[in-house]
Structure 1
């Protein structure tokens, strides 16, 4: 019996628009982020989602609530869906990080297998916790349709685990826009990505 998992990232936030790193810290959805979430919510209305799993961080929680709409679907919050913990970088402008931690920031975006955090998590830490999460929900909800609301690195880690691709290729695939939609199907002996980071529900002014 196959389990279908719909994956999305939270809507755009204030810190996204300012070029700040977020991680476990939070900033609210901005107007564009609210519109992005509503557009995806409209698209998901025709689907029979059994359970929503969400990161407990505010921007993901708010997005999950918008996507749920008026449907009677439980939302379960799981710490394993948090964004990568960026330690001292959280809340900092990316340009300022680059001036202080130039080589570390380069590794973060170009050679994540070599990235060492400043009081945060490694990419492998996120790969491990997301793999554990997916195993648990598939075992618990076999045959169900699940929606996951999470963050860029967390979502890409889930896709990487499904494909069995090495960490050195982490950033090679499609850009994960806010509220883009990916779909994976997991059966007894198969794991398939059916859709990757689709934004066909976007209006032109919803793109970054």
Structure 2
């Protein structure tokens, strides 16, 4: 089967909200979502799944509408920051610089607070493996998040640096999965479909 992993488009900045931050897409984010739909719509897609978070669902929507398909929500594809009251786009944090950015450079794990990152990675890997197992011979598009995609790739490829691969907004990553359990990463972070709406994230 082919698993096509799509990171959500560019979301709005949200700070210190009551409850948890679940930002919608910016205008650029919506344009990126449209570009994803136009890029993938000619494929023979059997299933479209998404994280429950708004930014992922909004990115999936143009493809869902273009193909006339339903969107299946997979709760375990939710991002590592699901309980945070703030969403700060990393490119903004980097541009601002200062102590906040330097702390992330020195210890990237620190931006996730007290979240158990290994448990998160286990959950994500299990979710993707269940999608693969349940869709043998099919093509599945999964709309999710940077840490979700990076964690799955790290586990699949077996490298140590959990931040070792860049996953930009609305980028596409392709994984081929055989019935024998072989996983082949065919591409990572495709962005050619985005044109002028590419945003290089730190």
Normalising TM by the smaller chain, what interval? 0.7 to 0.9
Give the aligned CA root-mean-square deviation in angstroms: 2.9
Q: How does 1:136-155 map to 2 (within 5 A)?
A: 136-155=130-149
Counterpart of 1:170? Answer: 162
Counterpart of 2:173? Answer: 182
Distance 1:116 1:152, change over 3 A: closer
TM-score by length of 1: 0.80
Cα distance per residue 1:74-94 (max 9 Å; x no partner): 311112111103755724684
Is residue 191 from structure 1 mapped to residue 183 from structure 2 by the alignment? Answer: yes
Cα distance per residue 1:144-167 (max 9 Å; x no partner): 10000001101111111211222x
Q: How does 1:101-180 map to 2 (within 5 A)?
A: 103=103, 106-108=106-108, 112=109, 115=110, 117-118=112-113, 120-166=114-160, 169-173=161-165, 175-180=166-171
Cα contact 2:31–2:197 (8 A) shared by 1: no
Instruction: Mark the runs of 5 or more structure 2 residues left unpaired by the alignment.
Output: none
Distance 1:51 1:37, change over 3 A: same
**2-structure distance, mates of 1:117, 1:195:** 27
Counterpart of 1:202? Answer: 194
Cα distance per residue 1:13-41 (max 9 Å; x no partner): 122xx8x799x622111111111111111
Residue 59 of structure 2, aligned match among 63, 74, 86: 63
**1-structure distance, mates of 2:151, 2:55:** 19
Distance 1:104 1:205, change over 3 A: closer
> How many residues are aligned here?
193
